């Protein structure tokens, strides 16, 4: 009997060492999209064509209930790359450098560098003014990467051709273009080509890598080659109008109402006389989504051709969700499901195929999950949770709810700007509770996804849900308190200061003060 036990211990030890060696040699391919919601085939959308993302989902684990920590590009990306909530990163605005507020933090790519990996960025991982600062390093962090590549394509060069709701405004305004030329001429097409070249190099050198590929689309302007527009019928685009009325706005707290009405240039789409224009814009978003999917497919094809798929973890996600007319709103910056929910897929060696989980998860969970998968100790400041237990048991819950924060003062309303109203929301498997104000003095929202997945019926005054409401109020207060605690090992924290950014449309002329004095015609 002692000999049998000894043999078993030796076998277990050998297996453990083998697993550790395998984990120690895993690479990471991290693919990040910009403004991509869950309108994908793998997430059950009947219309969007996304074969490559769908295939990736079939080959790994898809999270149905994944949420961002802040529904705005810059703060969301900083949270993801540091594994912390926005109250801890001190980021709530665009154009704020990571090290300005948390200079001592160890980012995801930086941690891989510490462990001997080559950390490479292609495109947008931290915030960029999109499309304003395409081709530059944006709000990048030099400590995260060994080297970086900043693609610059035809979409940027021909910016003056783009249709837009506000003249010469593209990034924060709905804008679109069915472009001439090939995929490889677009910024994201060039980014995919660069990723293919990097994979080829790594396959030959044998170096371990953390390769982060950041797509700029489907963020506005929705630009893609014409062939992707031809895949869709504009008349098939459905535009929701049930959240466009003043009657609907009266059922939700004022900060929530402002969050879906602050983009004045796009509220015109709530007028049903603009139905065809809304359809045209939505078609452009879906066409651009399919274009992004094609670039993802090019990268994954190369990964397989090189054989690197056998020892590379693939992660696919977006920085936040996106409204396409729901609640009478377009784009992001709300605390509704449309803006907080994102696609999240893990695939690779040791990860089960075809798993779908409804566990509430957060993008800050990506950092500790990758550390777990590659057998690297996560820094103390990382407060996200490893999702590896879900890979082995799709019923496992890493937490009861996912937490997202929004700053109402972002909307520019003077009264709110002075009072600095905070909004927080939690999403459980079934419910969403949103709290406005430090003590909820500006109102609550409660939605039951079992009966109202569109979040159109605020149930806070329904006595049937009193016990649910009370329970979730306690839960959200505990979640907020925990998210505000300074993590161990973080180091210094400073208040954010927004940098003033200037962008120019290529081809236009400006005077010495930066004022546009000549616009290049779109028909040139």
Give DSSP secondary structure letters for 246-267: HHHHTTS-HHHHHHTT--TTTG
Give DSSP secondary structure letters for 291-352: HHHHHHHHHHHHHHHTTGGGGEEEEEEESS--EESGGG-EES-SSSHHHHEEEEEEESTTPP
Whole-angstrom Cα distance, residue 325 to residue 286? 14
Assess contact for 66 and 358: CB atoms under 8 A: no
152-156, 210-214, 417-421, range with the lowest pLDDT: 417-421
pLDDT value of position 23: 62
At residue 456's C-alpha, the angle toward residues 410 and 75, to 5°, is: 25
The residue with greater pLDDT, 522 or 235, is 235
Assess contact for 303 and 199: CB atoms under 8 A: yes
pLDDT band at 498 (very low <50, low <70, confident <90, very high): confident
Whole-angstrom Cα distance, residue 341 to residue 89? 21
CATH class of domain segment(s) 24-400+493-518: alpha beta
- Sequence ranges of the domains in the chain: 24-400+493-518
Burial (Cβ within 10 Å: 0-12, 13-18, ≥19) of residue 507: middle
Task: Find the mean pLDDT for residues 194-219.
Answer: 98
Query: Distance of CA 33 to CAs 53, 217, 225, 288, Å?
Result: 12, 6, 18, 11
pLDDT value of position 408: 57
pLDDT band at 3 (very low <50, low <70, confident <90, very high): low
**Which DSSP symbol is given to 437?**
S
CA quadruple 36, 41, 46, 47: dihedral sign: positive
- Assess whether pLDDT exceeds 70 at residue 511: yes
What's the pLDDT tens digit per position in 355-364?
999 999 999 9
- Assess whether pLDDT exceeds 80 at residue 254: yes
Task: Find the mean pLDDT for residues 497-506.
Answer: 79
Assess contact for 108 and 366: CB atoms under 8 A: yes
- Assess whether pLDDT exceeds 60 at residue 16: no
pLDDT value of position 21: 39
**Which DSSP symbol is given to 100?**
H
3-state SS of 352-376 is CCCEEECCCEEHHHHHHHHHHHCCC
CB neighbour burial string for 183-213, b if at least 16 within 10 angstroms, e if fewer:
bebbbbbbbbbbbbebbeebeeeeebbbbbb
**At how many degrees (to 10) do helices 275-305 and 51-58 cross?**
50
Mean pLDDT of the chain: 92
Assess contact for 363 and 344: CB atoms under 8 A: yes
What's the pLDDT tens digit per position in 21-40?
356 689 999 999 999 999 99
Whole-angstrom Cα distance, residue 414 to residue 521? 37
Task: Find the mean pLDDT for residues 342-357.
Answer: 97
CA dihedral 277, 280, 285, 286 (to 10 degrees): 140
- Assess whether pLDDT exceeds 80 at residue 15: no
- Assess whether pLDDT exceeds 70 at residue 470: yes
Task: Find the mean pLDDT for residues 476-498.
Answer: 95
What's the pLDDT tens digit per position in 378-432?
999 999 999 999 999 999 999 999 999 997 544 444 344 434 689 999 999 999 9
Assess contact for 123 and 191: CB atoms under 8 A: yes
To the question of pTM greater than 0.85 for the whole model, the response is yes
């Amino acid at each position: 009997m002692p000999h049998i036990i000894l043999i078993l211990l030796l076998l277990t030890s050998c297996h453990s060492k083998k697993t550790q060696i395998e984990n120690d040699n895993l690479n990471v391919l991290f693919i990040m999209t910009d403004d991509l919601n869950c309108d994908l085939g793998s997430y059950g959308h009947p219309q969007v064509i996304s074969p490559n993302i769908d295939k990736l989902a079939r080959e790994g684990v898809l999270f149905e209930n994944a949420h961002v920590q802040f529904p705005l590009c810059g703060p969301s990306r900083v949270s993801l790359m540091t594994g912390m909530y926005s109250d801890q990163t001190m980021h709530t605005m665009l154009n704020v450098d990571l090290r300005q507020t948390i200079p001592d933090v160890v980012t995801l790519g930086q941690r891989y560098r510490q462990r001997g990996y080559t950390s490479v960025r292609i495109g947008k991982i931290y915030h960029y003014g999109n499309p304003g600062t395409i081709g530059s390093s944006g709000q990048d962090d030099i400590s995260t990467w060994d080297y970086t590549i900043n693609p610059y394509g035809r979409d940027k060069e021909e910016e003056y051709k783009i249709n837009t709701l506000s003249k010469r405004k593209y990034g924060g305004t709905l804008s679109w273009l069915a472009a001439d030329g090939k995929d490889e001429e677009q910024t994201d097409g060039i980014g995919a080509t660069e990723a293919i070249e990097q994979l080829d190099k790594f396959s030959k050198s044998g170096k371990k890598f953390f390769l982060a590929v950041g797509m700029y689309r489907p963020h506005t302007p929705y630009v893609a080659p014409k062939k992707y527009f031809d895949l869709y019928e504009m008349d098939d685009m459905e535009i929701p109008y049930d959240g466009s009325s003043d009657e609907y706005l009266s059922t939700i707290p004022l900060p929530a109402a402002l969050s879906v009405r602050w983009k004045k240039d796009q509220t015109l789409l709530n007028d049903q006389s603009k139905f065809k224009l809304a359809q045209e814009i939505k078609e452009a978003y879906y066409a651009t989504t399919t274009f992004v999917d094609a670039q993802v497919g090019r990268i994954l094809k190369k990964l397989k051709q090189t054989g690197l798929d056998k020892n590379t973890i693939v992660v696919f996600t977006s920085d936040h969700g996106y409204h396409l007319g729901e609640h009478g709103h377009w784009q992001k910056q709300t605390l509704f499901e449309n803006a907080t929910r994102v696609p999240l897929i893990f695939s690779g060696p040791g990860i089960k195929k075809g798993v779908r989980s409804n566990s509430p998860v957060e993008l800050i969970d990506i950092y500790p999950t990758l550390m777990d998968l590659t057998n690297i100790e996560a820094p103390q400041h990382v407060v996200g949770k490893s999702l590896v237990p879900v890979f082995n048991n799709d019923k496992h819950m890493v937490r009861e709810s996912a937490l997202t924060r929004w700053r109402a003062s972002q909307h520019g309303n003077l009264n709110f700007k002075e009072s600095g109203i905070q909004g927080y929301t939690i999403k459980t498997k079934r419910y969403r509770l949103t709290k406005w104000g430090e003590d909820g003095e500006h109102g609550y929202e409660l939605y039951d996804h079992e009966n109202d997945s569109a979040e159109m019926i605020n149930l806070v005054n329904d006595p049937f849900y009193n016990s649910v409401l009370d329970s979730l109020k306690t839960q959200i207060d505990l979640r907020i308190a925990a998210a505000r605690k300074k993590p161990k090992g973080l180091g210094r924290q400073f208040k954010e200061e927004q940098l003033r950014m200037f962008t120019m449309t290529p081809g236009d002329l400006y005077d010495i003060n930066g004022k546009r004095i000549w616009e290049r015609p779109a028909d040139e």
